[in-house]
């Protein structure tokens, strides 16, 4: 079996979702049997990038909701991405994986 590996160090870049999308499409075009996405030590970053990247794996649906302290209203954050992953996925995380990486 051939597995592809994506090491995602942070969600800080505005183009993190595009980078992951390109990596997924490249790996799948090479015929990988599965994808390993590694967010170990990833402290997070831009919530919008986390939601976008998650959409690549789950499609257009609610990903997470945010609620401000002391408020009743919850903001639902939906993915606008189409699911592009067609192979099994394993996520690697550790005690330092936080924020957007936990959402993914």
pLDDT at position 1: 66
pLDDT at position 13: 79
Cα radius of gyration (the chain): 14
Residues 6+ away with beta carbon under 8 Å from 97? 39, 40, 41, 42, 43
Global confidence as pTM: 0.90
Cα 92 from Cα 77, distance rounded (Å): 23
Digit-by-digit pLDDT tens for the chain (104 residues) are 699 999 999 998 789 999 999 999 999 999 999 999 999 999 999 999 999 999 999 999 999 998 888 888 999 999 999 999 999 999 999 999 999 999 99
């Amino acid at each position: 079996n051939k597995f592809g590996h994506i090491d995602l160090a942070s969600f800080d870049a505005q183009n993190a979702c595009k980078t992951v999308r390109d990596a997924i499409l490249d790996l799948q075009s090479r015929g990988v049997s599965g994808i390993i996405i590694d967010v170990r030590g990833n402290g997070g970053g831009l919530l919008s990038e986390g939601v976008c990247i998650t959409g690549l794996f789950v499609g257009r649906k609610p990903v997470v909701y945010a609620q401000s302290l002391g408020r009743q209203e919850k903001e639902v954050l939906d993915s606008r991405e189409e699911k592009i992953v067609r192979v099994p996925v394993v996520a690697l995380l550790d005690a330092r994986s936080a924020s957007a990486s936990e959402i993914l």
